[in-house]
Amino acid sequence: MFTMMKRVAVVNPQKPASPQPTRRERTRAATRAEILEAARRLLIEGGTERVTLRGIAGELGMTAPALYRYFDSREALVGELCNQIYDELADVLLAARDHDPRMPLKKRFLVTSHAFRNWALEHRPEFGLLFGAPVPGVLVDTSNNDPETNRGARFGQVWLELFVELSRTSPVAATDGADLDPRLRQHLAEYREQIGGVIPIGTIMVYLSCWIRLYGAVAIEAFGHVSFALQGGAADAMFDSLMHELTAKLGLKH
């Protein structure tokens, strides 16, 4: 996941209109969509190991070699499934974050974090695909900064935009990071350049620290590693407590 968030850029949403797809292109796109739907069903039923070309072909009444007309490999297919799910998740988070433009920044942080947790708990196989152990052979293109084509970057930008706003309003985060370990500061400075210098180094440090804590809290619950002690309302209360601790660290009181 960290590599998917590693490079995020704010892009100009205005692009030239694309030509209308031909009938052949529409048919091909529809078949690719069916293949991805079948792959996701298998993922939900049995995890990543079930997502095989033979299994997908059987779901669709095709032969496994026929799938190569639409995807170069099983790894390419799974990579596109990741993109599709990242897109869905980003849409969920954006809907939560931006549904009321009058919400104060603290509330926007909280509702976005809760939306992430809720999605993870409702889509555990998909969460495991995106945020669990990397799938062998499925490579992440970290050179692509465009959130419109790199869906992992689009997911990361949901959070980055909150921290851009935070850096403008909270003195807690808007620092130059001069007191950081030089080894860490160097890498954060490089990362700052990769994302266009949109936030100070101190904000980047807070950004990554918060992501580590948020991801850890969601992942340990989604993978069932805290159920021995926390379930139901108790797990909800623990997450609420952790998120309020984070927003307090960010200097967000309202």
Query: How far, in Å, CA of 95 to CA of 154, rounded?
Result: 14
Q: Tell me the C-alpha distance between 248 and 254, whole Å.
A: 10
Lowest mean pLDDT among 37-41, 215-219, 230-234: 230-234
pLDDT confidence band for 174 (50 / 70 / 90): low
Mind listing the pLDDT tens digit for each residue in 87-123? 999 999 999 999 998 999 999 999 999 999 999 999 9
For the chain, what percent of residues have pLDDT higher than 70? Answer: 86
pLDDT of 142 strictly over 90: no
Amino acid at 114: H
Q: Averaged over 142-171, what is the pLDDT?
A: 77
Written as one letter, the residue type at 18 is: S
Indicate the average pLDDT of the chain: 85
**Whether the predicted pLDDT of 254 surpasses 50:** yes
Asked if 67 contacts 213 with a C-beta cutoff of 8 angstroms, the reply is no
CB 51 within 8 A of CB 81: yes
Cβ-contact 179, 43 below 8 angstroms: no
Full set of structural domains in the chain with CATH:
2-10+23-249 (1.10.357.10)
pLDDT at 12 over 70: no
Euclidean distance between CA atoms 199 and 177, whole angstroms: 11
Nearest to 162 by CA among 3, 27, 4, 8: 8
State the amino acid at position 22 in one-letter form: T
Q: What is the pLDDT of residues 48-58, one digit of tens each?
A: 999 999 999 99
Assign residue 251 a region: left if phi > 0, alpha if psi is -120 to 50, beta otherwise? left
Contacts of 146 (CB under 8 A, 6+ apart): 9, 11, 153
Q: By C-alpha distance, which of 144, 147, 141 is closest to 12?
A: 147
